[in-house]
Amino acid sequence: MSFILDVITQNNQPKGLLQMNRFKKEEKRKYKEARKGLSQEQIAILDEKERLDAKIDELAHKIHCDKFPEEYDFIYDSRLDLQDRNNGINPMNQQYIEKINKKRLALGVSPLSDNGMSTSNDTRALCKKEARKIILKEGS
């Protein structure tokens, strides 16, 4: 019974639904605020820019996942792997580490830290630049 009470909140709505409603309300507020005082033409231009930016971000994320999967390795860590990373130790195989660092240097991005985590956003910036080129090339 306590599980049911934990999941149900005010107005008998599930917690997730309330959080989603808050998120949607906040997004709607930001949308209105950004367009306050603009003409219909300016709003249309802003809408198109935001649509294009969202498309670029989505493609950049896909490119990043494909090009730099090593930055997501931590997701599959066991408890022992997590403990190693927290102690500054990369739980990955040494050959894999060397191969990844060589690839990253060839692409002009920083190598992973000693614990196997990325220390900068240079890979994301590289992927966003690549995505922008692709999207803008499609549009012309």
What confidence score (pLDDT) does residue 1 get?
Answer: 40
Instruction: State the Cα–Cα distance between residues 121 and 129, nearest whole angstrom.
Output: 12
CA–CA distance from 133 to each of 30, 65, 91, 100, 138 (Å)?
28, 18, 36, 25, 9
pLDDT digits (tens, 9 = 90+) for 55-105: 999 999 999 999 999 999 889 889 999 999 899 888 888 999 999 999 999
Question: Is residue 7 predicted with pLDDT exceeding 60?
Answer: no
What confidence score (pLDDT) does residue 5 get?
Answer: 43
Is residue 80 within 8 A of residue 91, CB to CB? The reply is yes
Question: Is residue 41 predicted with pLDDT exceeding 80?
Answer: yes
Instruction: State the Cα–Cα distance between residues 20 and 11, nearest whole angstrom.
Output: 15
* pTM for the predicted model, two decimal places: 0.74
